[in-house]
């Protein structure tokens, strides 16, 4: 079974998605997700110019070899653009493998290790009362794990605030990045009070999560972790920029609040020290951004050796194909922890026919062969690419900060 064509579709049903379509010589079609928020067209060019021409004529069943061929074969290895391009191809090839076998991918990976995948939802508010009420809404819908973010007093906007009534939080907007102002001291003063109120109102019978979004120094992150210890967090996410893996030694040595990291990682080497020194509790790479199913599985296996659990990145900028790819791994992994899920904006449902379903705080996949998400190409064509950027953050004096 040879690869006959590799096509790339860019579509914007509410937000931009990059879809990889691989067709075999006997007509089987596999779908992959290669969306990289705000840098979509760089992955498109990488795929169209440097990947598609190399794949036509290759054996579509040699998924592992194709991964190595694209990774080692580029010489210029690493980086999010290349990893996402390879990830999109890898997911599409697993989709083909499942369709040919007539089995869902999780059956090819070893079969179910659990009945369903526990997810966390995203509560938020423009003040503490609003955020506390929103947590209550998620719990009423059956969620057993909720992330909570709120507007820091004195700031006009910050990461993680949902707008409108849906579940989805969508920060990418506009032809130029929005500029937000950030203040770490105000944030550190505010967050413990937020978590205190959430626990006072809703108790300790659910998992409580929070995303710091790379904004603190290692010492500030240690302070935050300590101040949150009474509220028994499930995790604090991305407490400090993770390029400096060794910085987590400092955080780890000073707080018992669990730590989750990984959404901007592109491979196993980005988390080697974090995992092997047990500096984190959860590794939360995004399957499409970390080289697809083939490579994410290696990261998770490494993590399992060191007692680190998984927590797949699942924002709206991972398409339903990427979410489903994560769910296949989630169902199988011995060290599964939790799955992020925030749904997708309308009208993404017209483009992606996803086979996973929600029930009581969990997602589950059906028996559809392959990844289990089909793409309506006519619908995709109705929503052409439209440039959208993530915001940037500056301090009060105008200095750039991490967003
Ligand atoms: C999360 C993330 C996202 C990112 C987004 C950027 O934990 O879900 O931090 O919301 O900001 O994926 O594209
Ligand atoms: Mg995050």
> CATH 3.30.390.10 spans which residues of the chain?
3-104
Please tell me the distance between residue 340's alpha carbon and the centre of ligand 1 in angstroms.
10
Å from CA of 382 to ligand 2 middle = 30
| Nearest ligand 1 atom to alpha carbon 159 | 11
Mean pLDDT for 348-367 is 96
Q: Does pLDDT of 370 surpass 80?
A: yes
pLDDT recorded at residue 92: 99
**pTM of the predicted structure, to 2 decimals:** 0.98
Which ligand is located closest to the Cα atom of residue 171?
1
Mean pLDDT of 327-352: 97
**pLDDT at residue number 297:** 98
Nearest protein CA to atom 2 of ligand 1, as residue? 315
pLDDT-derived band of residue 169, with 50, 70 and 90 as boundaries? confident
The model's pLDDT over 106-138, given as tens digits with 9 standing for 90+, comes to 999 999 999 999 999 999 999 999 999 999 999
**Ligand 1 near 40 CB (within 6 A):** no
CB of 121 closer than 6 A to ligand 1? no
Given this model, what pLDDT does residue 371 score?
98
**Which class is domain 3-104?**
alpha beta
Quote the CA–CA distance of 373 and 356 in Å, as a whole number.
8
Share of the chain above pLDDT 70, in %: 100
How close is the Cα of 254 to the center of ligand 2, in Å?
Answer: 22
| Active-site residue, 356 included | no
Q: Which residues of the chain form CATH 3.20.20.120?
A: 108-367
Q: Check pocket membership of 33 for ligand 1, CB cut-off 6 A.
A: no
Of 3.30.1330.40, 1.10.357.10, 3.20.20.120, 3.10.50.40, the CATH number of 108-367 is 3.20.20.120
Q: Is 270 in the pocket of ligand 1 (CB under 6 A)?
A: no
Q: What's the mean per-residue pLDDT of the chain?
A: 97
Active site residue 202: no
Task: Indicate the pLDDT class of residue 85, thresholds 50, 70 and 90.
Answer: very high
Whether 340 is in the pocket of ligand 1, judged by its Cβ within 6 Å, is yes
Least confident window among 10-24, 25-39, 166-180, 234-248: 166-180
Q: Over 80: is that where the pLDDT of 164 sits?
A: no
What's the mean pLDDT in 52-58? Answer: 98
- Of residues 122, 210, 213, 214, which has the active-site annotation? 213
| pLDDT for residue 72 is more than 80 | yes
% of the chain exceeding 90 in pLDDT:
97
pLDDT of residue 241 exceeding 90: yes
Nearest ligand to the C-alpha atom of residue 314: 1
pLDDT greater than 90 at residue 166 = no
CA of 99 to the centre of ligand 1 (A): 31
Residue 94 C-alpha to ligand 2 middle, in angstroms?
26
Q: What is the pLDDT of residues 174-200, one digit of tens each?
A: 899 999 999 999 999 999 999 999 999
Distant-in-sequence, close-in-space partners of 262: CB < 8 Å, separation ≥ 6? 242, 270, 271, 282, 283, 284, 285, 290, 311, 313
């Amino acid at each position: 079974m040879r690869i006959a064509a590799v096509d790339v579709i860019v579509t914007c049903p509410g937000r931009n998605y990059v879809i990889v379509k691989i067709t075999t010589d006997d007509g089987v079609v596999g779908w992959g997700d290669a969306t990289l928020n705000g840098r979509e067209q760089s992955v498109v060019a990488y795929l169209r110019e440097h990947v598609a021409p190399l794949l036509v004529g290759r054996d579509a069943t040699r998924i592992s070899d194709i991964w190595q061929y694209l990774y080692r074969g580029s010489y210029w290895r690493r980086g999010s653009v290349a990893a996402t391009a390879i990830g999109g191809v890898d997911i599409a090839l697993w989709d083909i493998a499942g369709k040919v076998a007539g089995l869902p991918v999780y059956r090819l990976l070893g079969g179910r290790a659990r009945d369903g995948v526990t997810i966390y939802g995203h509560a938020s508010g423009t003040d503490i009362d609003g955020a506390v009420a929103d947590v209550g809404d998620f719990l009423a819908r059956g969620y057993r794990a909720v992330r909570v973010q709120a507007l820091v007093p004195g700031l006009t906007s910050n990461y993680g605030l949902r707008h409108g009534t849906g579940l989805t939080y969508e920060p990418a907007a506009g032809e130029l990045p929005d500029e937000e102002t950030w203040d770490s001291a105000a944030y550190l003063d505010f967050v413990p009070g937020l978590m205190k109120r959430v626990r006072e109102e809703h108790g300790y019978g659910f998992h409580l999560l929070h995303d710091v979004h790379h904004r603190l120094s290692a010492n500030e992150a240690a302070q935050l972790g300590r101040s949150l210890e009474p509220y028994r967090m499930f995790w604090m996410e991305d407490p400090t920029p993770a390029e400096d893996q060794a910085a987590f030694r400092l955080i780890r040595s000073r707080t018992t609040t669990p730590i989750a990291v990984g959404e901007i990682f592109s491979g196993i080497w980005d988390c080697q020290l974090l995992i092997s020194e047990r500096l984190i509790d959860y590794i939360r790479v995004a399957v499409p951004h970390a080289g697809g199913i083939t490579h994410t599985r290696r990261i998770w296996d490494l993590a399992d050796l060191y007692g680190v659990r998984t927590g797949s990145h699942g924002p709206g900028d991972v398409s339903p194909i990427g979410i489903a790819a994560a769910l296949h791994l989630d169902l199988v992994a011995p060290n599964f922890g939790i799955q992020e899920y925030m749904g997708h904006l309308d009208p993404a449902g017209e483009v992606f026919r996803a086979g996973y379903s929600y029930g009581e705080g969990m997602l589950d996949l059906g028996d559809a062969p392959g990844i289990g998400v089909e793409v309506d190409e006519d619908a995709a064509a109705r929503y052409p690419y439209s440039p959208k950027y993530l915001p940037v953050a500056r301090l009060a004096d105008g200095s750039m900060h991490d967003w």
